[in-house]
Amino acid sequence: MIYLSTILIFILIITLIAFFLYYFLLKNKRIFSTFSDADINNKIKENENFLKIYKNILQKVTDGIAVIDENKNIIFVNSAFRKNIRSGLSDNVDRFELLTRNYELNNIINKIIENNDPNIIEKKISYFDKADEKIVSCKIFKIDETKYYAVIIRDITYIQKIENIKSAFIQNISHEIKTPITAITGFIETLKNGALDNRETAVKFFNIIDHHAKRLNSLIDDLIVLTNIETGGASLKIEEIDLINIIENSLQLFENDIRAKNLKIIKNLECFDNTAFFSDFSKINQIIINMLQNSIKYTENNGKISIDLYFETNSGANNIIEDLSETSIVWGTIDPDADNFLYISVEDTGIGVSYPNLLRLGERFFRVDSSHSADPGGTGLGLAIIKHILKLLNGTAILQSSLGNGFTFTVLIPQTGINRSNDDNNNIMPS
């Protein structure tokens, strides 16, 4: 009897287990059946589409983005990354160090991975790519608690260049202003302390003060001109220009210097009586004055300065550029839409310029060092002004020189398309 009851209890337990097992499987089957194969496939496709969208966005951003694992295998890299830092020869490399070929960047990443550093590391990296210095800002960090690392790179070469220019400008302008101010205040103090009683000495000191005051005024004028051109505040007033008159008047400005140095001026000027040239008078006048001033300043006693002036065709202007030596420096390009060009060339027998210094001409406040001239004067902005005016006029400049062999400065300025001279309303803003 006991045996029979035991069997019945066992059968009951088995039945209950079977019932609960059946009920559980049936319930879960209903749950699983709510997600059909089509639903699952749609969900997978939806996620794949989102991944494509995210990937497309990452490819479009200008910052370089790369994701690597702890072994520096590349998981993802966008096209901007290859542009922002020197890349390897192949775009199909799967190792990060082969992609970048940058020792400093790879060294930083190695340390972060080795130390399992969770912090965001920011670093500026500079290197040379095809002889051009590039500067990039790098941000490297571990992605949360994963085994992956992100490397974000931004090209800041231009920004850094602007910062360097600003810093150099502040230093240069401080020096240029402080020098004459120091001289002025020094001589005024000397005059106050008794030198004023000696007329000859007083006149000498007043002349020096006047010289430095004019130098300050010239500096301010040049800075205003340069700033107006760079910021687009300079407009062009187109009119017919008497080029011969500009050159003759410009030479008169430096008559004392020419006479003091006994310089020989050779003028090869074609007759412009029957050929009209339309451009901005003040801009052309400024170019010619600065060209002549530069040659007179750096030409030694008994030297020679030749001035050539004529019109050139478009093909002739292009031939001039094509025939230049490798050591010639060219600012700008020949305007393909211009038919005729004004050709002005000033050649001197001065001290000349070495090739490294020739490359720097046109920089603000840059002066060529010369043992022959401890203080050549000027503001150091003349050639920078010419460079910017030529850009405004779509002109081109050619600089040719070598140390001890004189200097030749040539400009080619396109003739404007305006054929009337009595219209004062021809104001053209720079593009």
User: Average pLDDT of the chain?
Assistant: 77
Q: Model confidence over 340-372: pLDDT tens digits?
A: 898 999 999 988 888 888 888 877 776 665 443
Of 93, 92, 143, 97, nearest in space to 117 by CA: 143
Amino acid present at 209:
I
List Cα–Cα distances, 86 to 76, 90, 97, 159, in angstroms: 17, 12, 11, 18
- Report the pLDDT value the prediction gives residue 76, as an integer from 0 to 100: 86
pLDDT given at position 84:
76
The pLDDT of 86-93, averaged and rounded, is 59
Split at pLDDT 50, 70, 90, the class of 420 is very low
Q: At residue 66, does pLDDT exceed 80? A: yes
pLDDT above 90 covers a percentage of the chain that reads: 9
Instruction: Determine the average pLDDT of the residues in 67-95.
Output: 77
**Pick from 50-54, 177-181, 324-328: least confident:** 50-54
Ordered by where they begin, the domains of the chain are: 47-155 (3.30.450.20), 160-218 (1.10.287.130), 234-428 (3.30.565.10)
Q: How far apart are CA 259 and CA 296, in angstroms?
A: 11
Q: Give the confidence band of 423 by pLDDT, cuts at 50, 70, 90.
A: very low
Task: Show the tokens assigned to 310.
Answer: 């004529």
Supply the pLDDT for residue 226: 72
> What band does 24 get if pLDDT is binned at 50, 70 and 90?
low
pLDDT category of residue 418 using cuts at 50, 70 and 90: very low
Cβ atoms 216, 177 nearer than 8 A: yes
pLDDT higher than threshold 80 for residue 230: no
pLDDT tens-digit map of 210-224? 878 877 877 777 777
Share of the chain above pLDDT 70, in %: 78
Q: What is the mean pLDDT of residues 43-71?
A: 79
- Over range 282-298, report the average pLDDT: 88
Distance, CA of 318 to chain centre: 26
Nearest-10 Cα torsion for 171, 177, 178, 180: 150
Q: Worst-scoring range by mean pLDDT, 101-115, 286-300, 337-351, 412-426?
A: 412-426
* pLDDT for residue 67 is more than 70: yes
Find all residues with CB under 8 Å of 400, minimum gap 6, and list them: 324, 325, 327, 328, 329, 407, 408, 410
pLDDT at 21 over 70: no
Max CA pair span of the chain: 150
pLDDT value, residue 233: 64
